[in-house]
Amino acid sequence: MDIFEKLKSNKGPIGTASMALNGHHYFTFPKLEGELGPHMQFMGKPVLNWSLNNYLGLANHPEVRKADAEASAKWGLAYPMGARMMSGNSDLHEIFEKELAEFVGKKESFLLNYGYQGVMSVIECVCDHRDVIVYDAESHACLIDGIRLHKAKMGEYYKFNHNDMASLEKNLERATKMAAQKGGGILVITEGVFGMSGKVGDLKAIVELKKKFDFRLLVDDAHGFGTMGETGGGVAEMLEVTKEVDLYFSTFAKSMAAIGGFVASDDETIIMYLKYNMRSQIYAKALPMPYVEGGRKRLELIKKHPELRKNLWNVVNALQNGLRERGFNIGETTSPVTPVFVQGIEGGLPEVTMVVRDLRDNMGIFCSIVTYPVVPKGQVILRIIPTAAHSLEDVERTLNAFTTIRERIETGFYRANLVVAQPA
């Protein structure tokens, strides 16, 4: 079979394929326009936007915009030219690394040009074919892809049930035996905040298992950095286990509203090892200077203005409490991530898409619909991301809209219209 013909006949998993065929530019690849923030335009209409990873509202903060513009004018987007190891290093890169490490309570960090590729490369670099990885079943795709690289080197890996410590312990027992046979070590991988459910990783219980098992712990805290903990230092800070986290990773794509990421550790030798061995950094261009200077300004604002985090949590609490009071299932989230689990739908995904169209077209509420493979099969969520830039008035308007769609789901409004819309 011709490889292109094979691809043309299969656009992806069920759910994704359906949206690609029937909802391109609407459900998938939508085009939001206007100034980044809660109020934008979609398909020519104003919408209240709940789909931006901009937790602290920094994307359009005037000091951030000024820093980005001045750095771009000063350096251009090319500087520095080359990988960090060869010709792309600078004092500002290293200063930023020190600032990031200090903020998350670590001794040293390594600045990464991208978050997704960066953490994949961390996993590939740390683990060789003798080592065993044990990871949470709901780990983000970037972690899964890093584990696939480990698999390609004939490395062993085990999956434990999501946030299930009994399952983790059972798999650590298996991993300990396997690591002993192969002469390797064990890396446990989990998340600070799980990006779809909003649940916090049980880091305190995981590090407690270090008393019984010999392993290192990598935490992807993409959604916890800047939002969780007393200073915004992340889930490890909140749970008081910062020292027990061996490798701390975060992207800049959430609270920092930027591009890039970093990995931090108390073991400076390991950070130096990563600098000399991470393929995604050795063979790729360094983070451009505007992102470095812009990143430093963002971090400065996070540290100097705790009210940004306070504003975020005021919106989060009002929204999540309001949804629960109105009978919506938002799962076990204890973070800003707010998943609304769509229930009472008999018409399947086509009926859910009608709900989303009603929200967007008739109520001016834009939130993302999430299906398999991003979430488990049979699960559909409407994913809401509150930010510090939202207002309590935005929350009230959204709660009223969700009350309306719940009533319409319960009365069969969408199902009835779905049947009418189908050909005989």
pLDDT in tens, 271-285: 999 999 999 999 999
Say if residue 188 is in the same domain as residue 267: yes
12 confidence band (pLDDT: 50, 70, 90):
low
Contact by Cβ (8 Å): 386, 338? yes
Q: How far apart are CA 321 and CA 308, in angstroms?
A: 20
Quote the pLDDT of residue 68.
Answer: 97
State both tokens at 316: 């989060």
Specify the pTM: 0.94
Share of residues in the chain with pLDDT > 70 (%): 95
Say if residue 82 is in the same domain as residue 119: yes
Whether 422 shows a pLDDT value over 50: the answer reads no
Say if residue 135 is in the same domain as residue 282: yes
Say if residue 103 is in the same domain as residue 128: yes
The average pLDDT across 209-217 equals 98
343, 318, 347: which is closest to 328 by C-alpha?
Answer: 343
352 confidence band (pLDDT: 50, 70, 90):
confident
**Which stretch of DSSP H or E encloses residue 48?**
strand 45-49
Contact by Cβ (8 Å): 237, 105? yes
Say if residue 19 is in the same domain as residue 119: no
Contact by Cβ (8 Å): 267, 122? no
Q: Is residue 414 part of a domain?
A: yes
Q: Is residue 4 part of a domain?
A: no
Residues β-bridged to residue 41: 33, 46
The mean pLDDT value of the chain amounts to 93
Q: Is residue 63 part of a domain?
A: no
> Which residue type occupies 279?
R
Share of residues in the chain with pLDDT > 90 (%): 84
pLDDT tens per residue across span 215-253: 999 999 999 999 999 999 999 999 999 999 999 999 999
Residues β-bridged to residue 191: 220
The domain of 378 spans 11-49+306-421
Say if residue 41 is in the same domain as residue 88: no
Residue that is last in its domain, among 255, 280, 304: 304
Contact by Cβ (8 Å): 73, 50? no
CATH number at residue 313: 3.90.1150.10
pLDDT tens per residue across span 144-194: 999 999 999 999 999 999 999 999 999 999 999 999 999 999 999 999 999
Say if residue 85 is in the same domain as residue 215: yes
Q: How many domains does the chain fold into?
A: 2
Choice between 1 and 63, residue whose per-residue pLDDT is larger: 63
Lowest mean pLDDT among 58-62, 256-260, 407-411: 407-411
State both tokens at 167: 């399952």
